[in-house]
Amino acid sequence: MTQKTDRDTVIERALDLIRLRGYHKTTMNDVAAACGLLKGSLYHYFPGKEALAVAVMERVCETFVKHIVDIAQDEAVPVEARLEAIMDETRKYFLSREGGCIMGNVALEAIDAVPEFRPIVRKYFKDWIAALARLYESRFPAKIALRQAERIVAMIQGTIMMMRVYQDSSMFEMAISDILRDFRAAPVITTEVAFAAA
């Protein structure tokens, strides 16, 4: 039969469903139906549900986090503007989609049940944090900068949780504002900040 879809489409559809319903409540049938397929057909693209979910999470790393990393590394732009751009992307990313952060959701729902999920979730957070730490190194020593980045990611995840609980996105806007305000209030380190990355 002629190709009805492709691996990328399956990933995209599964991403939306898992974000909204969670890993356990998203069935292979749901995903297949969203792709216009029957569930058996999914096994041509992925060996099983876990592998599909891993591919979905890798996709999130390759898109959202990759985008943020790219912005953070763009040295043609002033550091503060880069942070603003990142926060802008972050806001757009999480406010334009229902279901919050799929990686955060999977982290709390299935990271212990499915060991294969842990490394990909870790990579997601590590890369995100590293990208932010880069920018904070213009204001703080490396160690402090890393800690600040961790705090910011934790705050964003915690705020997304509150946003879902109260179905109110204003908390997210406020959190973004706070982060930018605090950054601007930090003294600039004038010497070679050295993005001598790993």
Least spacing, CB of residue 77 vs its own copies, in Å: 27
Residue 85-104 contact track with its own copies, rule CB under 8 A, x = bound: --------------xx---x
Choosing from 33, 34, 147, 180, the residue that interacts with its own copies (CB under 8 A) is 147
Least spacing, CB of residue 106 vs DNA, in Å: 14
Asked whether 99 and 19 are in contact (CB, 8 A), the reply is yes
Closer Cβ to its own copies, 86 or 193, answer by number: 86
47 by Cβ neighbours in 10 Å (0-12 / 13-18 / 19+) ranks as exposed
Helix (H) and strand (E) counts in the chain: 9, 0
Least spacing, CB of residue 26 vs DNA, in Å: 7
Q: Count the Cβ atoms, other than its own, within 10 Å of residue 162.
A: 12
Closer Cβ to DNA, 42 or 176, answer by number: 42
18-57: which residues touch its own copies (CB under 8 A)? 20-22, 24-25
Separation of alpha carbons 13 and 118, rounded Å: 22
